[in-house]
């Protein structure tokens, strides 16, 4: 999922009622929250547009890459017909590398499309949150007009507490990200080794087929 969608999750999951109970100025808090939600919606719309454009670029690259697979296959067959098994092997290796590249593009397209679906769901949830905050703000402003102004002497302490809470949450997310990156690196190394093994097996099998087709022997 794109970065903006992850950040927006914090807004969606925030407990407005709990925050209002602690707030020295509920109306001010609601106004700020409404502004943050509206800014997040604008950012989310922009990220979805970028994701759609990126998907289109990936689709064009995938079509081009698939065309290259056929080209390498033809080159391998031509080389084998001319008795150049060494060149045929190189062409088949290039074909397998291109197939792998196409597969990775397909995976990336699927990931971006999944992120788009996720962002669309987040957008719906965020709009619902915005509507809720708007209603609460209207109610709070109406109540403020009828009630005396509450004391705000502890607003500075509450701001510090809120900042400390944000720092703690950020540190936890950073720790999770580091753990995830190490696991991803190990997984990537294993996948590369498996890809190399599959490529060699595919090349050997294809060479044997081309050899039989052309009537040559090792």
Q: Rounded to the nearest 10 degrees, how much is the dihedral formed by the CA atoms of 157, 161, 167, 172?
A: 170
Q: Please, which residues have CB within 8 angstroms of residue 54's CB and are 6 or more apart in sequence?
A: 112
Amino acid 130: pLDDT: 87
Alpha-carbon distance of 54 to 105, in angstroms, equals 11
Q: Is 215 left (phi over 0), alpha (psi -120 to 50) or beta?
A: left
Report the predicted TM-score, pTM, of the whole model to 2 decimal places: 0.61
Which residue stretches of the chain have pLDDT < 70? 1-15, 17, 147-185, 188, 215-218
Residue in the block written with tokens 């720790």: 175
Amino acid 34: pLDDT: 87
Amino acid 3: pLDDT: 56
Residue in the block written with tokens 């289109």: 56
Domain boundaries, the chain: 3-214
Amino acid 158: pLDDT: 54
| Selection from 149, 162, 157 nearest residue 25 by Cα | 149
Q: Are 105 and 65 in contact (CB under 8 A)?
A: yes
């Amino acid at each position: 999922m794109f970065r903006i969608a992850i950040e927006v999750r914090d807004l969606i999951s925030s407990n407005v009622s709990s925050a209002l109970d602690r707030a020295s100025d509920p109306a001010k808090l609601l106004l700020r929250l409404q502004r943050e939600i509206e800014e997040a919606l604008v950012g989310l719309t922009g990220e979805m547009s970028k994701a759609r454009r990126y998907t289109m670029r990936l689709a064009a690259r995938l079509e081009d890459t698939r065309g290259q697979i056929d080209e390498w296959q033809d080159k391998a067959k031509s080389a084998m017909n001319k008795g150049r098994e060494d060149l045929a092997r190189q062409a088949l290796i290039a074909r397998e590398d291109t197939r792998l590249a196409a597969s990775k593009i397909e995976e990336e397209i699927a990931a971006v499309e999944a992120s788009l679906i996720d962002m669309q769901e987040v957008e719906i949830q965020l709009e619902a949150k915005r509507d809720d905050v708007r209603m609460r703000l209207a109610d709070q402003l109406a109540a403020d007009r009828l009630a005396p102004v509450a004391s705000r002497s502890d607003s500075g302490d509450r701001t510090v507490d809120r900042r400390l809470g944000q720092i703690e949450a950020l540190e936890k997310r950073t720790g999770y990200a580091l753990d995830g990156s190490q696991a991803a690196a190990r997984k990537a190394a294993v996948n590369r080794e498996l890809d190399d093994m599959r490529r060699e097996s595919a090349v050997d099998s294809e060479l044997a087929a081309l050899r039989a087709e052309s009537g040559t022997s090792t």
